[in-house]
Structures are given as structure tokens and as C-alpha cells.
Amino acid sequence: MIFKVARLGHPVLRMKARAVSQAQIAEEPFQQLLEELRQTMVEYDGIGIAAPQVHLSLQIALVGEGAGRYPKAPRLKPTVLINPKVRPIGRRKVTDWEGCLSVPGWRGQVPRWHSVAVEAYNGGGQKVCFKASGFFARVIQHEWDHLQGRVYLDRMRGLKTLTHLEEFEKYWDR
């Protein structure tokens, strides 16, 4: 099943998502949900998706497929993050363009930590800890924000770089 993506303005996007119990992860309905989230991300051509974006207030995020909207971006390893904790490594931030399935048709420049440490459960219910940097770290932070009730617009330093997608592709995506 392909879910309908919640758009900016829907209250679910501004709520902190609920944690998932570790026992729940192994259950068939939860595994089916992960597959449906993946299918939705691919259908909408996203590089990541979080459960709140499909009207589910749960601490689940997927990263790494459907990169067609970001053709110049590196390919990311498909990653499932359940109940993630994300913290910066170092002090370096990088500003780059972002878009969002829940804010369709727009791009903006967003400062993000260059490197992050991640602790979460994977799709099999095992605890995983890893470091991410560059584009991978950016996508993880973007999806983690959704689990906290934030969107990328909240992280922008101002709205001067907010750009309609067609204008972005014409003037900025070089």
C-alpha cells in the first residue's frame, strides 16, 4: 500500500512522535508497515521518509532510496531508524539545499551538522550505533526532525533562499 503524504499544515507534522516498543518491531504488522513506508518513499521519489509524514505519530524513519529528486547526491545505503537518538559530532555545520515530501515544490538552504552519531533500532529490532557524515548525515537529521515535530523550514536562517522547485532547477541546481 502507498500512503498519502501529510503536507505542511497537518498537525501530525508538528507533534513529537511516540516511541515504538522493541517487542512491536518483530510483529508482522510492524514489518508490513516498514515495507509500506519504503514503497511510499520510492513512489514519491524521496531519499527518506518518517512515519509522521504518512500520518503516523511513531518514531520511525527510513533513509536511502528513491534518490531521483536528488540526482547529484550520492547513493545511500537503505537504513531503518526506530526510536533514533541523533547527536552532533564536532562543531562543523554545512549549509545546503533541502526539499521535503511534506513541503512539495520548494527548496531552501538549511544548515546541518556535518557529522552525527546515531543510536537506534534497525528493522530487525537490533540496536545499532554508527556515525554518518555529509549527505547521509543531512538526510538523517532531516528525518529525525520530523520525529521531533519539525520541518526543514524551521532550520533555515531566513526565507531568502526559499525557492520554488522550477526556479531552483533553472537557476540554482548547477
**Cβ neighbour number for residue 61 with a 10 Å cutoff:** 30
- Residues with catalytic roles: 143
Sign, Cα dihedral of 66, 72, 75, 81 = negative
Enter the pTM of the model: 0.95
d(CA 64, CA 111): 20
Q: 141-157: per-residue pLDDT in tens?
A: 999 999 999 999 999 99
Sorted by where each begins, the domain ranges of the chain are 11-172
Rounded distance between C-alpha atoms, residue 85 and residue 144, angstroms: 8
pLDDT at 23 over 70: yes
Distance of CA 111 to CAs 18, 98, 114, 150, 161, Å? 26, 10, 9, 14, 12
The x, y and z cell numbers of residue 136, run together, are 547521509
Q: 112 pLDDT band (50/70/90 cuts)?
A: very high
Choices 3.90.1720.10, 3.40.1110.10, 3.90.45.10, 3.50.50.60: CATH for 11-172? 3.90.45.10
